Amino acid sequence: MNFTLTEDQAMIQDMAKKFAQSELAPVADKLDKEGDRALFLTNLKQLAELGFMGLNIDETYGGANAGTIVFSLAVTEIARACASTAVTMSVTNMVAEVIQAIASEEQKSYYLPKLCSGEYAAGGFCLTESTAGSDPSNMKTTAVLEGDEWVLNGAKQYITSAEFAGVFVVWAVTDSSLPKGKGISCFLVEKDAPGLSISKAEHKMGQHASSTNEVLFDNCRVPKNALMGELNQGFKIAVGELAGGRIGIGSLALGVGLAAMDYARTYITEREQFGQPLSNFQGLQWMMADAFTDLEAARLLLMNAADKKAKGLPFSKEASMAKLFASEKANKACYTALQLLGGAGYIKEYPLERYARDVRITSIYEGTSEIQRVIIARELLREIV
């Protein structure tokens, strides 16, 4: 495998890095503490204008057509500055990819340009429910065809960017007589659809600028042609797209972990104890060496999964391995970085406290670490049959 980036890949990565450093890093603390929605939306619009909301979408629909590897690289760079912005970018790209993969030409032509251009600030991925988190096949939301309309009833939980999403990809049971997971279909629901409402944002531990809401469907009516893909075939679509989403969240975790360790690395060269810089002490050097080694291994796992996806090869196991390893090691790296700062790491004046809060969710959303291990083990056992 050639690990050298192409000229285009390196250029887009550099563009993401410069935007993150110039526009996002200076306001990340403000967004975390104050939740300035107008500022957050301005940043999302700028990202869209740079092509980062449709990185793997065909140029015909306004996308960048840059590929999965670039998507991973870009999410990492954005997350190094602001995890809240990175998760919104990652999920919006995932929504766009679902639409590109299974929607009708009419649906693609209508929705993809709006997502890619920033006309829609974000896209919503409505899968999780109170009884259907790690087991999405257990969802209770239903969709019943009445004449020329589908009527949706139910509730989706923990939906990223729901407050400012222009369109939602929604999964619902369309045939309860079929075995669990077999009678689920996928719909495109616009934000102003009658019967759709969005609850107030959850008060989260981290990633404060990114809204997370419950989306409610109370006799929500959408046109018959809102069905996306084949009837009753939605569950396998969800499973496939979650695998791709795990590359995004793993990349986000990597970015936060790198930001934390970069800050700590600089800090220990400047702070002195016992008459010399902290960086002279071997114990701290080894902590730093282990953390950066783990993060580099995470990067390589992510690149491997992204490369397989880009080539159209099976990548579910690789994506789960990358997401598991990256999220767990990024969590560890943030705590290592905080430890390297000592008492200063616990003070909100320094960014380590925010990094530690922001990174914690990465080992939970888009499939917990425990679920990733289940998937990896299942795939490994299939290989010997």
Residue 2 pLDDT exceeds 80: no
Regarding beta strands 212-223 and 227-228, do their DSSP bridges make them parallel or antiparallel, or are they unpaired? unpaired
Average pLDDT over residues 223-238: 93
> How confident is the model at residue 180, as a pLDDT?
87
- Model pLDDT, residue 118: 97
Per-residue pLDDT, 133: 86
pLDDT tens, residue by residue, 81-125: 999 999 999 999 999 999 999 999 999 999 999 999 999 999 999
- How far is it, in rounded angstroms, from Cα 169 to Cα 17? 30
pTM of the model: 0.96
Across 59-211, the runs of DSSP E, i.e. the strands, are 122-126, 142-146, 149-160, 165-173, 184-190, 196-198
- Domains, the chain, ranges and CATH? 7-120 (1.10.540.10), 124-232 (2.40.110.10), 236-382 (1.20.140.10)
Catalytic residue among 77, 129, 163, 366: 366
pLDDT tens track for 246-278: 999 999 999 999 999 999 999 999 999 999 999
Q: Is the pLDDT of residue 285 over 90?
A: yes
Percent pLDDT > 70 in the chain is 100
Q: What is the pLDDT of residue 1?
A: 64
- Is 366 a residue of the active site? yes
Question: What per-residue confidence (pLDDT) applies to 236?
Answer: 86
pLDDT at 170 over 70: yes
Q: At what angle do helices 83-102 and 234-270 cross, to 10 degrees?
A: 160
User: Does the pLDDT at position 385 exceed 80?
Assistant: no
Q: Is 197 in a helix, a strand, or coil?
A: strand
For residue 356, pLDDT beyond 80? yes
Strand pairing class (272-273; 276-277)? antiparallel
User: Which range among 24-28, 238-242, 346-350, 359-363 shows the weakest confidence by mean pLDDT?
Assistant: 238-242
pLDDT band of residue 129 (cuts 50, 70, 90) is very high
Which pLDDT does position 111 carry in this prediction?
98
324, 326, 330 from 318: Cα distances, Å: 10, 12, 18
